[in-house]
Amino acid sequence: MTPVFALEQANVRFGMGARTLHALCDIDLQIAPGERVAFIGANGCGKSTLLRVLHGLLRTSSGLLRRDESLCQAMVFQRPYLMRMSAQNNVALGLWLRGQKWSSAQWLAMDALQSVGMAEHALRAARKLSGGQQQRVALARAWATRPRVLLLDEPTSSLDPHAKREVEALIQNLAEHDPSMTLVFASHNLGQVKRLASRVVYLEQGRVLADLPVQEFFAAGALAQRYREAHSFVKGDLV
């Protein structure tokens, strides 16, 4: 099966000389269609950088990235950027930029908002919505494009507990609605990783130190023997 993404010895560096920051170091990674992959690790480990590389927002400094260009992909950020317009127009704008007629884009936007429980707020100013509602709009905007690959960067970390549960359930529903869609997300919430992921990639200082099926990753005995850093992180020993 042709992978959705394939990274070979990929590096990302920022700055020059003594101030060079190695954000990603010699990453070898393949993600197959339909996988649900979670990136975990402490702040600054490279999760967000890796997601941005996969989405084409950052170029690798060296190494190779192969991506299936035929697949539509979308990304939702931890704090989504919403335009100064209604929730409906925020979703419709992305569709219009992809070539949809505005009237059609408006109809599809309402359908997407309906799917995330936001139809009743369609005409409200998007920036005046609550954090959880804004994240729902961002998910609707991504989902409206019917992506084959959905990338999520800490989609619930800035939300209150109730909104976290709602947005996580929504992500679960979207993934189950289309099992062939590839889901790649970064999260600090290990419970969320257990619920949403089929595979876990643990990063530390820009390197992949563990890459395992979710059940094997959270099997403490096996993890402790083979991946000591990842085991320490799961136990809470690493900040």
Residues of the chain below pLDDT 70: 220-222, 224-225, 237-239
Last residue of a domain, one of 128, 147, 166: 147
**What pLDDT is recorded for position 55?**
95
> Which class for 122: exposed (0-12), middle (13-18), buried (19 or more C-beta within 10 A)?
buried
For residue 190, the domain's CATH number is 3.40.50.300
The percent of residues above 70 in pLDDT, for the chain, comes to 97
The pTM of the full predicted model, rounded to 2 decimals, is: 0.90
- Structure confidence by residue, pLDDT tens digits, 118-130: 999 999 999 999 9
In which domain, by residue range, is 238 found? Answer: 1-71+148-239
**What pLDDT is recorded for position 89?**
97
Tally of domains within the chain: 2
Residues 23 and 125 in one domain: no
- Assign 3-class secondary structure to 77-96: CCCCCCCCCEHHHHHHHHHH
Residues 141 and 160 in one domain: no
User: What is the Cα–Cα distance from 10 to 164, expressed in whole angstroms?
Assistant: 33
Question: Mean pLDDT in the chain?
Answer: 91
Residues 173 and 227 in one domain: yes
**What pLDDT is recorded for position 79?**
86
Residues 236 and 156 in one domain: yes
Q: Token pair for residue 80?
A: 């989504």
Residues 159 and 226 in one domain: yes
Residues 200 and 170 in one domain: yes
- Structure confidence by residue, pLDDT tens digits, 140-193: 999 999 999 999 999 888 788 888 888 898 888 888 888 889 999 999 999 999
Residues 57 and 169 in one domain: yes
Last residue of a domain, one of 91, 116, 147: 147
**What pLDDT is recorded for position 198?**
95
Residues 187 and 219 in one domain: yes
**What pLDDT is recorded for position 200?**
96
Residues 139 and 90 in one domain: yes
Last residue of a domain, one of 147, 179, 195: 147
